[in-house]
Amino acid sequence: MAIYSSTGMVKAQIMVNQAFEQDKRFNTPEVWLLFMRSNPQFFDQYASLRIRDDKADEANYFKRTSRALGSSKTHNHTGTVGDTGVITLDWGIYSDVFAKTLMQADGKIISAEDIMNNELVNTFINFIEQLEDESSSYLVDNRSGVNVAAINGTFDATNDVYEISATNYLTSGIQITKAVMYANKYGKGMPMTIVCDPVAFVEFERQANQGTGNSANTSFQFSNVRFIMDVGLTAKAAAIDVTYTKGFWIVVAEGTIGAATFIEPKYKQGVSTTVNTYGSIQNPIDGLLYGVHSYETRADGTSKGGTTQDVVTEVQIYQEVAFSKAPLSVAGETTIQAFTFV
């Protein structure tokens, strides 16, 4: 029950070891961590510049200037000046709340520390599950609308997905993918991460594990490629096109995406007033520091497992996130390419 009344000492009980609490299982947030890994090279100064969550932040970059080469030399040649662009970071706040009472643990076989730990574990899992889904959705929503390749497949400019025939090229999907990325100027040897739905992941893993002793050795096709399985990608692919059920994947060139994170300085410093407390706590799953705000109120805590004359502590934990991708000069083009078998 939500108020821990099932642990009241009305009869002898045995606490279940936390390792067996399968209700708290979760998947490692691989896509969210992909964004986190890219941050050192993608965002290098925002953390020292941002001080409040109501201030806009901008990132500057040099635009690509493409010119056709001339066929002569002149004494009075003239040229154009290069240009820069600006990205405005789009910040979103993610928060979770819970409450606990001063008397909540009295008369129970669990301690106040156990209760607090349980609340924090639930909160940490809530964060990583939603941030994982947000990360996956960002990749899908920002897939490139431009793909110049035509290598054993075609780019559907309506769905913004490169389609490969499963009948003809199922076992060549990764080679075709790498060739398509190369045609779009992501050079040979550039590290890439491929976020797969379960169908594509199973097929690519099968090919990768055929091994050198088998008649069909495909180990060469997986160099400089890292695979992530995203179970939520199945529904997102179907939302693009109901026929995308034979395997769907998204390719990201390393270092071209990132997610800036932020909590205000007072939370990091730790500040207490007569009513409020500001602090921070590290989420052990993603390693990030999250902001914590709490306050106490006098209340009847019986509905929360406490007593009539109790003190309720309301707790909110938050993280501010700005998902971003590398800017490109061509309209509709991004570094995020979507593929599917059809």
pLDDT digits (tens, 9 = 90+) for 277-329: 999 999 999 999 999 999 998 888 888 778 888 888 999 999 999 999 988 88
Say how far apart CA 294 and CA 198 lie, in whole Å.
41
Name the nearest CA neighbour of 137 among 236, 230, 245, 260.
Answer: 236
Provide the whole-model pTM.
Answer: 0.84
Counting other chains too, the contacts that 142-145 makes at CB distance below 8 Å and 24 or more residues apart are: 142/325, 142/334, 142/336, 143/250, 143/334, 143/336, 143/337, 143/338, 144/332, 144/333, 144/334, 144/335, 144/336, 144/337, 144/338, 145/332, 145/333, 145/334
Please list the residues that pair with 279 across neighbouring strands.
292
Confidence label for 254 from pLDDT (cuts 50, 70 and 90): confident
Q: Establish how many alpha carbons lie within 13 A of residue 227's alpha carbon, considering only the half-sphere containing its beta carbon.
A: 22
Instruction: Give whole-number Cα distances, 314 to 40, 139, 280, in Å.
Output: 35, 35, 15
Angle (deg, nearest 10), helices 173-183 and 198-208: 100
Task: Give the H/E segment covering residue 253.
Answer: strand 248-253
Residue linked to tokens 């490169």: 162
Overall average pLDDT of the 17-46 stretch: 73
- Among 110-119, 193-202, 213-222, the range scoring the smallest mean pLDDT is 213-222
243 touches 209 (CB < 8 A): no
Q: Cβ atoms within 10 A of the Cβ of 321, count?
A: 22
Q: What is the pLDDT of residues 67-95, one digit of tens each?
A: 677 777 787 767 676 655 566 788 999 99
Residue 5: predicted pLDDT: 55
Tokens read off for 301? 């805590």
Overall average pLDDT of the 253-277 stretch: 90
259 touches 274 (CB < 8 A): no
176 touches 152 (CB < 8 A): yes
- Among 76-90, 182-196, 245-259, 316-330, the range scoring the smallest mean pLDDT is 76-90
Q: What is the mean pLDDT of the chain?
A: 83
